Chains A and B, each alone.
Chain A
């Protein structure tokens, strides 16, 4: 059974940083891309970033480019999202999602972790 467990969310002040983690199990981790997607009441579901199987290729939404960095540790079956220069509009629930191939697609999702950016 595919399981994705996010952690690292919390309350942070504008301009601050957070690092999200997602521990994966139940599938061959290094055979699939991984992604982060966020959900907010105002914007709904918004894709944030994807990383390829090897970690060489990364993709970002324009809204986070230059501020967020996705990475993965295939030896620990974990994907990360480093979030810097956080803004109030980054507030939301962040989901980790499994890709369906080396780069593209999404299928299984975690339960999410809440990020709140507020002073």
Chain B
């Protein structure tokens, strides 16, 4: 199975900051990577598909980049509602695998 290594595990930031989260695949996955946001008690919400395609309704302060093995999620001008846990997911092949998550805290 493809291993997804996500970093950092947690970070502290302030409103207005720009934060970057990384995900590295153990082998090439083209651009078959998604980013998800999860808040306590809810299912993950899709932010970005295909490494860089912003899902409908997601604010433009979220952006994704990368292909092959290295991917990045950037949140510009962090807002109060952005404090949550973020996950990457490779859907290049089965079994799909997730990163371990990054908790963004105030």
Residues of chain A whose beta carbon lies under 8 Å from any beta carbon of chain B: 35, 37, 44-47, 50, 59, 61-62, 95, 97, 100, 104-112
Contacts and interface: CB of A to CB of B under 8 A. Distances in A.
Contact of B46 (A45, A95, A106, A111): A106
B43 A44 contact: no
Contacts of A105: 32, 34, 49, 91
B62 interface: no
A99 to B, nearest CB: 9
Contacts, number: 54
Contact of A100 (B49, B98, B100): B49
B106 to A, nearest CB: 23
Nearest to A95: B43
A87 B29 CA distance: 32
A35 to B, nearest CB: 8
Contacts of B46: 106-109
Closest 5 CB pairs of A and B: A109-B43, A47-B96, A45-B98, A107-B46, A59-B94
Q: Is the interface of B mostly helix, strand, loop or mixed?
A: loop
B97 interface: yes
B101 interface: yes
B45 interface: yes
B43 A107 contact: no
Given A45-B87, A105-B49, A111 B95 contact: no
B75 interface: no
